């Protein structure tokens, strides 16, 4: 039986997190090397984003199968991404020399605030954009009644959704947030770069892991608000935009596949 009440994370949030994507052939070697250096590794027990709870030499990794369980629908962004089939390791510091080739993303809390957030008509225009229609995974919008009921219960318990709120109210935001990272219609000029951002409050975000781990619009910098799930299960903060910066190093695109640049 799965317990859906997460244990509180009493440790302070790290200034930065580092995301590594590793192909299965290399993962066992990487794991052995890290253990030899005194690291302890365990698989994320329930959700992919729990890898964000890594602290110090206690690392949490996400195996490919974890995207097919509790977050199966949301995991469709992973399954149809360039990183499908890869293992993910997150650390609150750069891992030892020799692992740089697997480093894909750096992310950390920012003080960013957008000049304005889009209205409902603008959110609708986002989900009608060709960029979103062409890129959304086939399973992403297939919500069953059990999942909708579970989300309603969980997000009311965690006080993201108020009394009477359901998925129906937030469904537009769930889709529009991913759509904006694909279409880039709402963005800010940061360090000379046009950076798209989340377009709703936390309650209207779903599967921010797709942006945290650079599955959507890979290689593009993003300002991302955490979804209620990543706050609940991974200890991310509410009302904060996380600065997600892809690292432009070569990573294995798929198990056994050729290496390519993150932004290619």
Helices (H), the chain: 24-36, 76-79, 120-127, 130-135, 145-157, 167-183, 209-212, 228-234
Q: How far apart are CA 5 and CA 149, in angstroms?
A: 16
At 47 the pLDDT is: 96
For the chain, how big is the Rg over CA atoms in Å? Answer: 18
pLDDT band, very low/low/confident/very high, at 165 (cuts 50, 70, 90) = confident
Average pLDDT score, the chain: 88
User: Each residue of 97-108: pLDDT tens digit?
Assistant: 889 999 999 999
Q: What pLDDT, on a 0 to 100 scale, did the predictor assign at position 146? A: 84
Per residue in 51-73, pLDDT (tens digit) is 999 999 999 999 999 999 899 99
Mean pLDDT of 212-225: 96
With cut-offs at 50, 70 and 90, classify the pLDDT of residue 262. very low
pTM above 0.75, yes or no: yes
For the record, the structure tokens of 106 come out as: 């750096």
* Residues 6 or more apart in contact with residue 190 via CB below 8 angstroms: 112, 221, 223
**Separation of alpha carbons 224 and 109, rounded Å:** 9
Tokens describing residue 135:
């890129």
DSSP sequence for 126-157: HHTSHHHHHHS-TTTT---HHHHHHHHHHHHH
């Amino acid at each position: 039986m799965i317990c859906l009440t997460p244990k509180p994370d009493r440790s302070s949030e790290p200034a930065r997190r580092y995301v590594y994507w590793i192909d299965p052939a290399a993962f066992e070697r990487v794991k052995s090397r890290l253990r030899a250096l005194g690291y302890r590794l365990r698989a994320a027990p329930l959700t992919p984003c729990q890898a964000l709870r890594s602290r110090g030499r206690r690392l949490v990794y996400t195996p490919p199968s974890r995207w097919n369980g509790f977050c199966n629908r949301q995991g469709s962004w992973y399954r149809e991404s360039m990183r499908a089939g890869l293992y993910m390791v997150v650390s609150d510091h750069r891992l030892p020399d020799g692992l740089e080739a697997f480093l894909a993303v750096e992310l950390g809390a920012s003080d960013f605030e957008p000049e304005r957030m889009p209205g409902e008509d603008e959110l609708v225009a986002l989900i009608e954009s060709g960029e979103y229609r062409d890129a959304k995974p086939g399973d992403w919008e297939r919500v069953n009644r059990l999942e909708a009921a579970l989300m309603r219960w969980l997000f009311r318990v965690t006080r993201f959704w108020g009394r009477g709120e359901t998925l129906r109210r937030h469904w537009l935001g769930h889709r529009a947030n991913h759509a904006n990272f694909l279409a880039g219609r709402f963005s800010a000029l940061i360090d000379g770069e046009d950076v798209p951002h989340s377009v709703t409050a936390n309650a209207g975000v779903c599967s921010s892991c797709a942006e945290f781990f650079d599955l959507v619009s890979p290689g593009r910098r993003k300002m991302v608000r955490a979804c209620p799930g990543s706050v609940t299960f991974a200890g991310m903060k509410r009302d904060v935009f996380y600065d997600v910066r892809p690292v432009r190093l070569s990573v294995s695109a798929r198990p056994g596949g050729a290496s390519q640049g993150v932004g290619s």
